[in-house]
């Protein structure tokens, strides 16, 4: 699946997008898997309460299942308008 | 209904004119324009967005506004990229037979765009660049709808 | 603060552009435009006013808005005389550092202009001419402020 | 003092403005005096609860005193905006 990062999440991880092959069942599982990879992921996902997640471009939450999802995006709370 | 997500500047006045033109059945047009504020020595603002999701999220917000209020039309324009103080960041316009619907729908759209459309603002000032933090107030504003 | 009571048409778009121009310290501009609705076969509207009192009443309303909210500027334009469907009757614009002030002040101004500024509308339609009756709703709208 | 009429009050009375010499103490007294003059005044002031009054261009009420007032205006509830 494609994993996208925006704003300071993107800056901390250092890339806007990557393809991840994972057996993670939920978003939270995926986050744990990414955190265990490298320090920059651990830094980006340090406090998930400060983050939002979208699954296939719809806002979702960290307990949501990933089955069938093609695009996961992590970002800070939005500041539009 | 017209939704534009663009890097190019736009003219809020010209958009207002076009939006208000020939609405024989609508008595009320409300517009909101958000401008880049130059206070605190801000020199520029950079707006990042999530292409694809942005348009979907704004369309969903605008459709919800049309379900909730009696509206003749809705316009949302939101820029991304680099902006300088005084420039228009975004605008919302609503047309309705009555003023209450036009006002409430415009405020609803603004509250949702602030916290539910995937835009992130970065401010460039004398102390460097900093991401704008989401405000508790903006999250609280959603609860009234 | 700018208050115009005039017989001549005005362009809400051009007024919005001029009003929003170069506001480095204001993040939010809200405009309301009231248009003549053509439903019910209305062919024209005639607006009578009370010269002298009109300007005083609008100035007092606008000053009260500036006392109550943190505003950078206020604009009120109201026409009198003969208007046809689609034409702009009046507009209000508010500029504020934050959107809540700009929205609330614009709604306050509209609620007061509806019931406290000395204008009277007469509608000309297929059944002749009739004075528009004040709505209980409009009087009720004042109570929230 | 000058007495002004607007909208359907003006139409019923037939003139927009007139000079009235009166000893009326309050607005209500002036209304009674005008009503006793002619039928068109009686028709215009039939239901004062449907009317508004301004004294020297400030909204007032029918119990207000007229001492020192130069301009009295009668009209239906406003319908601006």
Model ipTM value: 0.95
Mean pLDDT of all residues in A28-53: 97
Spacing of C-alpha B35 from chain mean position:
10
Mean pLDDT value of segment B67-80:
97
- pLDDT value for A67: 96
Return the pLDDT at B42. Answer: 92
Structure tokens belonging to residue A35:
């955190």
Supply the pLDDT for residue B25.
84
For residue B22, what pLDDT is reported?
76
Return the pLDDT at B76. 98
Rounded Cα distance between C83 and C36, Å, is 7
CA dihedral angle for residue D40, residue D28, residue C116, residue C59, rounded to 10 degrees: 110
Residue C130 touches partner D, C-beta closer than 8 Å: no
Report CB contact under 8 Å: C26, B37: yes
Mean pLDDT on C9-33: 93
Cα separation, C87 vs C83, in Å, equals 6
pLDDT > 90 in chain D, percent: 100
Q: How many helices (H) and strands (E) does chain B have?
A: 4, 8
For D26-42, what is each residue's pLDDT tens digit? Answer: 999 999 999 999 999 99
Place of tokens 């709208």: C141
Q: Which domains does chain C have, with CATH numbers?
A: 2-143 (3.90.1170.40)
Q: At which residue do the structure tokens 């929003």 appear?
A: C20
- B-chain CB neighbours of A10 within 8 Å are 48
Q: Does D79 contact C134 at a Cβ distance shorter than 8 Å?
A: yes
**Cβ pair C50:D7 closer than 8 A:** no
Cross-chain CB nearest to C39 (options B20, B21, B25): B25
Give the nearest chain C residue to D57 (CA atoms).
C53
What pLDDT, on the 0 to 100 scale, is given for residue B40?
Answer: 82
Q: What is the pLDDT of residue D16?
A: 98
pLDDT of residue C24: 75
Q: Is the pTM of this model over 0.90?
A: yes
Contact by Cβ (8 Å): A64, A55: yes
Q: Starting at the earlier edge strand, list the strands of the sheet with C88-96.
A: B2-6, B73-79, B88-96, B28-35, C28-35, C88-96, C73-79, C2-6
For residues A35 and A12, is the Cβ–Cβ distance under 8 A?
no
What is the residue-averaged pLDDT of chain C? 95
Separation CA B115–CA C93 (nearest Å): 25
Q: What are the residues whose beta carbons fall under 8 Å from the beta carbon of C109, sequence distance 6 or more?
A: C32, C61, C62, C65, C74, C76, C92, C94
Contact criterion met (CB < 8 Å) for C50 and D79: no
Confidence band of C25 (pLDDT split at 50, 70, 90):
confident
Over residues D49-76, the mean pLDDT reads 97
pLDDT beyond 80 at B107: yes
pLDDT digits (tens, 9 = 90+) for C86-135: 999 999 999 999 999 999 999 999 999 999 999 999 999 999 999 999 99
User: Phi then psi for C123, rounded to 5 degrees?
Assistant: -100, 135
Token output for B74: 């809705």
CB D40 within 8 A of CB D12: yes
Domains and CATH numbers, chain D: 2-75 (3.10.20.30)
| Residues in chain C closer than 8 A to D6 (CB atoms) | 48, 50, 118, 120
**Pair of tokens at residue D15:** 């003139």
Please report the DSSP string for C6-58 in residue order. ESS---HHHHHHHHHTT-TT--EEEEEEEE---GGG--EEEEEE-TTHHHHHH
Residue D15 burial by CB count (10 A; 0-12/13-18/19+): exposed, middle or buried? exposed
Token digits of residue D7: 């909208």
Length of chain B in terms of residues written: 145
B21-73 tens-digit pLDDT: 877 789 999 999 999 998 888 999 999 999 999 999 999 999 999 999 999 99
Adjacent-strand bridge partners of B49: B119
Find the angle CA(A11)-CA(A15)-CA(A16) to the nearest 5 degrees. Answer: 90
């Amino acid at each position: 699946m494609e994993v996208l990062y925006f704003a300071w999440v993107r800056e901390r991880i250092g890339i806007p997008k990557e393809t991840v092959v994972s057996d993670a069942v939920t978003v939270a599982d995926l986050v744990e898997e990414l955190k265990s990879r490298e320090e920059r992921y651990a830094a980006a996902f340090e406090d998930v309460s400060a983050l939002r997640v979208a699954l296939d471009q719809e806002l979702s939450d960290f307990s949501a299942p990933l089955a069938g999802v093609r695009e996961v995006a992590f970002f800070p709370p939005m500041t539009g308008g | 209904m017209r939704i534009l997500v663009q890097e190019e500047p736009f003219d809020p006045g010209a958009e207002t004119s076009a939006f208000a033109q020939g609405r024989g059945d609508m008595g009320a047009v409300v517009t909101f324009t958000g401008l880049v504020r130059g206070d605190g020595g801000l020199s520029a603002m950079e707006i990042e967005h999530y292409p694809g999701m942005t348009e979907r999220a704004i369309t969903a917000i605008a459709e919800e506004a049309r379900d909730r209020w009696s509206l003749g039309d809705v316009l949302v324009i939101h820029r991304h990229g680099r902006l300088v103080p005084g420039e228009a960041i975004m605008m919302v316009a609503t047309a309705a037979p009555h003023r209450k619907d036009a006002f409430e729908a415009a405020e609803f759209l603004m509250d949702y765009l602030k916290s539910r459309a995937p835009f992130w603002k970065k401010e460039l000032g004398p102390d460097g660049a900093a991401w704008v933090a989401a405000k508790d107030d903006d999250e609280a504003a959603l609860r009234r709808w």
